[in-house]
Structure 1
Amino acid sequence: MTPGARIQAAIECLDAIAGGAAAEQVLTGWARRSRFAGSKDRAAVRDHVFGVLRRWRSCAALGGGETGRALMLGALRQDDEAPESLFSGQGHAPAPLTPEELALGRPPAEGAEALDMPDWLWPRLGDDAAQTAAALRHRAGVHLRVNLIKADVDWAIESLKHSGITAVSHPASPTALEVVEGARALRNAPAYTDGLVELQDAASQAVVDRLNLRAGMRVLDLCAGGGGKTLAIAARCPEAQVFAHDIAPQRLNDLQPRAERAGAHVSVIATDKLAAAAPFDLVLCDVPCSGSGSWRRAPEGKWRLDAAALDRLRATQADILRQAMNFTTEGGTVAYATCSVLAEENSLLVQSVLSESSGWLMVDQAHWPVTQGTDGFYTAHLCRA
């Protein structure tokens, strides 16, 4: 595909996303219909689409609208690329720009528009709004967790090097690596296929690092999702009994094969068996949230979220935290976590639940801002007084 043809493909995908379709589904559908597109073409189209999704408002301002053509025009202007050479109408490129299109566009207004944040969310980002929003406009790094059951950091780095992948330690966690070259080769690298490393954000690993794990303790990952933190717990403390649960059990379908690959031992508990399996010494509840800390990876969430949805999420988070408290032994710990940068889902939510829960204290909390090279994460540890 020519550079112009890639722009046209991105325009079509952006029009579908603007109409309400999910970005991943749109890109997957385009790739299946476009057998002529090679891996580099698919990667380039994806980069165009996600580049606009991270910077939707500023691209719309610069391009003079929210159609796919206007958004890509705005993105090219923002990146100091000449749009006329790509909107040529040649080789499946988009049709040439009209005089009206060329006349449209303006610099984005300072603040939420220029930094690509919805107006209603801007004040909720707090004192670091500008820095947080600016960080979320850029691509996230590729982070790996070294599986301590099978390797140490040096061994993992050396193994990745043999596959043409350069990785360096990340300061957020002793087990975290950041891939700085060769990320596209990761899926077929023996270090990955043999379970020496797992894809996991460095701050997500740091949440597990903060847990006080001990041999023999019973640990429940209550909202396990795909099981990334479950496996990290099992690798950090193989002598613990580690259990995983998710209200949507299909999310855990790949957990046992991943655990076998990693050499980890975990047990999955169905929802109807959860109460009987309690109590646990430690309950981790990485609750459903806005995902605002990971909007670099899933930027359309920034534009789909609204205040009503955030309120519903907060109600769910509070319910899950109360449930986790009920599943914990006397003297046990509940570790609450989100991948959110919003205080309403983090410290304010925890304080609200604590205010109605006698006998519980917050004994630890921490957050990892997106400005420090990780996803945005928050965690708080609650113990019975």
Structure 2
Amino acid sequence: MTPAAQVFSASQILQEILDGKRAKSSLQQWSKTNRYAGSKDRRAIRDFVYDSLRIKRSALSKIMAPHSGRNWAVGVLLETNEDLEKYFNDETYASPRLTDKEKFAIQKAKEYKSPPDEEFNVPAFLWPIWTADLGDEAVTVAKTLCQRAPAFLRVNIRKTTIEKAQKILSGDGIQTVKHPSIITALRVTEGQNKIKNCMAYKDGFVEIQDASSQASVIDLPRDSNLKILDYCCGSGGKSLALDAWTEGKIFAYDISPDRSFNLKTRAERSNAQITKISKPIKEMFDVIFCDVPCSGSGSWRRDPDGKWKLNAHSWKNLLNTQIEVLNEAKELLKTDGILIYATCSVLLSENYKQLEKFCSLNPEFEIKKAHQFLPSDLGDGFFYGFLKKK
């Protein structure tokens, strides 16, 4: 496919997204119905779609016309200073040339001054919270979230060493460098698309996991022989990391069991001993890890679709759910236990302020430590805090 044909196909997917379809399902459906497309074409189209999602609001503001997949693609190309005639040229499988009306709409948009939430691609309702919570970092963080995220791996140090994992990965054409501060993390510098088919991944030597997320696990004692509950386990990434790092007994629970349907397979691949449990939970635990539902704002580089699904109503529900999860989990905590609260968010409102709110509602608890990561070349935005009884 030519670059123009790739953009044309991407614009069709963008239209489906505007119509309410999830990006992932639209891309999967496109691949099924266009089997002639090679892996490079599918990758280029996927990248264009996700790049477009990251800058959705600013891109759509580049042409003063009704929202459409075509206009969205035009806006993305304008933002990256591309020659529109290269992509809209009436060639076979490409988009038709821009009409005089469209050219006028593009010129008209140049007279329009975007509000900051649109310019920096943050949901409009969230912008006042964003600026209040992030202060001087608000614009920098918003801009960073419009870029592609680096890829990280977690080395399963229960099965191998960092150096051995790197050697195995290199043999499959995947080059990595050690993270400067998170000892289990490798940043992928080459061969990212080969990871799920490489020997190191298939044999459980590495897992795909962001570095900032790994940091919350390695803050626990390395040799801790503790009873640990991953209370919002999802697909089990934290459960696997906890098993690899500690000497503890790992239990996994999620309110929606379907989310952890493949945890058994992942655990077998990693030689991890993880016990899935369901309510009622009658046991007590030394450590309870609550990676709670959140805005996902720290990982919008990876899931830009999630940014635009967030609204004022779902935001309010998330804040309530986060406190509810902590209140449920505290009932399962041993007297001298550690309650860990974590989000993939950059916002004070659902991070440290939630710890303070929880402690005000449960004065027997206190914040022992907390850490906020902002998105960068070293990882996603992520927050975690340790709570203990006084």
Superposition TM-score, scaled by structure 2 size:
0.95
More moved, 198-207 vs 251-260:
251-260
Give the structure 1 partner of residue 52 of structure 2. 52
2:261 counterpart letter in structure 1 = N
1:211 equivalent in alignment to 2:220: yes
Q: Deviations over 1:238-266 (max 9, x none)?
A: x2111011111112121122111111111
Is the CA contact 1:244–1:268 (under 8 Å) kept in the aligned structure 2? Answer: yes
5 Å-filtered alignment, 1:39-188, equals 39-65=39-65, 66-105=67-106, 106-107=109-110, 109=114, 111-125=116-130, 126-127=134-135, 128-188=137-197
Is the CA contact 2:346–2:383 (under 8 Å) kept in the aligned structure 1? Answer: yes
Give the structure 2 partner of residue 281 of structure 1. 286
1:256 equivalent in alignment to 2:264: yes
Give the structure 2 partner of residue 245 of structure 1. 253
SS at match of 1:223: coil
Give the structure 2 partner of residue 231 of structure 1. 240
1:94 counterpart letter in structure 2 = S
Give the structure 2 partner of residue 294 of structure 1. 299
Is the CA contact 2:150–2:377 (under 8 Å) kept in the aligned structure 1? Answer: no
1:290 counterpart letter in structure 2 = S
Give the structure 2 partner of residue 13 of structure 1. 13
Is the CA contact 1:144–1:197 (under 8 Å) kept in the aligned structure 2? Answer: yes
Q: Deviations over 1:5-36 (max 9, x none)?
A: 11111111111101111111111111111111
Is the CA contact 2:345–2:351 (under 8 Å) kept in the aligned structure 1? Answer: yes
1:352 equivalent in alignment to 2:357: yes
Q: Deviations over 1:23-75 (max 9, x none)?
A: 11111111111111111111111111111100011111123342111111111
Alpha-carbon distance in 2 for matches of 1:172, 1:121: 32
Shift of 1:173: 1.1
Shift of 1:172: 4.4
Is the CA contact 1:62–1:74 (under 8 Å) kept in the aligned structure 2? Answer: yes
Shift of 1:4: 1.4
More moved, 31-40 vs 63-72:
63-72
Alpha-carbon distance in 2 for matches of 1:325, 1:213: 23
Q: Deviations over 1:194-253 (max 9, x none)?
A: 11110000001001111246543100000000111111110011x211101111111212
1:368 equivalent in alignment to 2:377: no
Identity %: 38
SS at match of 2:228: strand
Is the CA contact 1:63–1:75 (under 8 Å) kept in the aligned structure 2? Answer: no
Superposition TM-score, scaled by structure 1 size:
0.96
Alpha-carbon distance in 1 for matches of 2:377, 2:125: 25
SS at match of 1:109: coil
1:135 counterpart letter in structure 2 = T
Is the CA contact 1:164–1:182 (under 8 Å) kept in the aligned structure 2? Answer: yes
User: Please, which of 197, 202, 220 is the counterpart of residue 193 of structure 1?
Assistant: 202
More moved, 349-358 vs 330-339:
349-358
Q: Gapped runs of 5+ residues in structure 1? A: none
Shift of 1:110: 6.2
Alpha-carbon distance in 2 for matches of 1:91, 1:103: 25
Alpha-carbon distance in 2 for matches of 1:316, 1:335: 16
Is the CA contact 1:8–1:93 (under 8 Å) kept in the aligned structure 2? Answer: yes
1:249 counterpart letter in structure 2 = P
SS at match of 1:370: coil
5 Å-filtered alignment, 1:23-38, equals 23-38=23-38
Alpha-carbon distance in 1 for matches of 2:169, 2:179: 15
Q: Gapped runs of 5+ residues in structure 2? A: none
Alpha-carbon distance in 2 for matches of 1:175, 1:375: 15
